[in-house]
């Protein structure tokens, strides 16, 4: 069945393209969603009338997607996960978790737009593709960290702070004893004179 695309559809075509698709796909999805017209004479005339509007709308969407791509790629997103003794993740980082991280950063990205070429099952930095508009993708940096490592680092920092405070207190007591001892000697010398 031949149809005229009203919007850019990945793996199918751009606005205004006349493509052949299976009749069920056209009748059950593309046409009810307003993504395509049946390619007949009446539809061709109707499409010519609204072609400029659709193309300008597509250009605006593409410009928005370009801006979003630049902002998404400027940042990095940190996933803190549980890790076993051998440094392997329990499970994997899913597109749902990545979408939540991106959402926390202030972007409205749906999880179905997160494309994982393979499951993220290791620590480190990973490139993740995000579908934005049509065939445009952003590549974001996902940093997978051990949740326990941060806790261990916080505990070590707290222990170091306590030890530093105890050391400072010990030095202060020692200085006070020395000052007291020096004060008695000076007082003793003053009394002798």
Taking CA atoms, 2 is separated from 7, 38, 44, 109, in Å, by: 15, 6, 12, 32
**Is 98 a domain residue?**
yes
**Is 155 a domain residue?**
no
- Model confidence pLDDT, tens digit, residues 11-58: 898 888 889 999 999 999 999 999 998 988 888 888 887 788 877 888
Provide Rg for the chain, Cα atoms: 33
pLDDT confidence of residue 190: 44
5 forms beta bridges with: 36
pLDDT confidence of residue 149: 67
pLDDT confidence of residue 191: 46
Q: What is the mean pLDDT of residues 59-73?
A: 86
Q: What is the mean pLDDT of residues 113-131?
A: 86
Tell whether 6 and 59 lie within a shared domain.
Answer: yes
pLDDT confidence of residue 193: 46
pLDDT confidence of residue 53: 82
- SS3 of 18, please? strand
- Total structural domains in the chain? 2
pLDDT confidence of residue 151: 65
CATH number, domain with residue 41: 3.40.5.10
- Model confidence pLDDT, tens digit, residues 128-165: 888 888 778 888 898 888 877 666 677 777 788 888 88
Q: What is the mean pLDDT of residues 117-131?
A: 86
Rounded distance between C-alpha atoms, residue 120 and residue 84, angstroms: 15
Tell whether 52 and 84 lie within a shared domain.
Answer: no
Tell whether 57 and 97 lie within a shared domain.
Answer: no
Strand locations in 42-153 (E): 76-81, 114-115, 124-133, 136-146
The residues near 78 (Cβ < 8 Å, ≥ 6 apart) are: 101, 143, 144, 145
**Is 32 a domain residue?**
yes
**Is 193 a domain residue?**
no
Q: What is the mean pLDDT of residues 94-115?
A: 87
Tell whether 80 and 143 lie within a shared domain.
Answer: yes
The residues near 96 (Cβ < 8 Å, ≥ 6 apart) are: 111
- Model confidence pLDDT, tens digit, residues 155-190: 777 788 888 888 888 888 888 888 888 765 544 454
Q: What is the mean pLDDT of residues 102-127?
A: 86
Write out the residue range of the structural domain in which residue 125 sits. 75-148
């Amino acid at each position: 069945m031949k149809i005229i695309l009203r919007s850019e559809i990945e793996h199918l075509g751009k606005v205004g393209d006349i493509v052949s698709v299976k009749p069920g796909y056209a009748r059950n999805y593309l046409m009810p969603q307003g993504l395509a017209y049946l390619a007949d004479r009446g539809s061709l005339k109707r499409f010519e009338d609204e072609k400029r509007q659709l193309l300008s709308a597509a250009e605006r969407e593409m410009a928005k997607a370009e801006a979003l791509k630049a902002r998404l790629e400027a940042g990095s997103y940190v996933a803190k996960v549980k890790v076993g003794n051998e440094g392997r993740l329990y499970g994997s980082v899913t597109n749902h978790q990545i979408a939540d991280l991106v959402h926390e950063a202030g972007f409205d990205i749906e999880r179905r737009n997160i494309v994982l070429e393979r499951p993220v099952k290791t620590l480190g930095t990973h490139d993740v593709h995000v579908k934005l508009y049509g065939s445009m993708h952003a590549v974001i940096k996902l940093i997978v960290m051990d949740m326990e490592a941060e806790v261990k680092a916080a505990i070590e920092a707290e222990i170091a702070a306590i030890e530093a405070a105890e050391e400072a207190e010990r030095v202060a007591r020692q200085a006070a004893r020395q000052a007291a001892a020096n004060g008695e000697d000076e007082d003793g010398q003053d009394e002798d004179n």
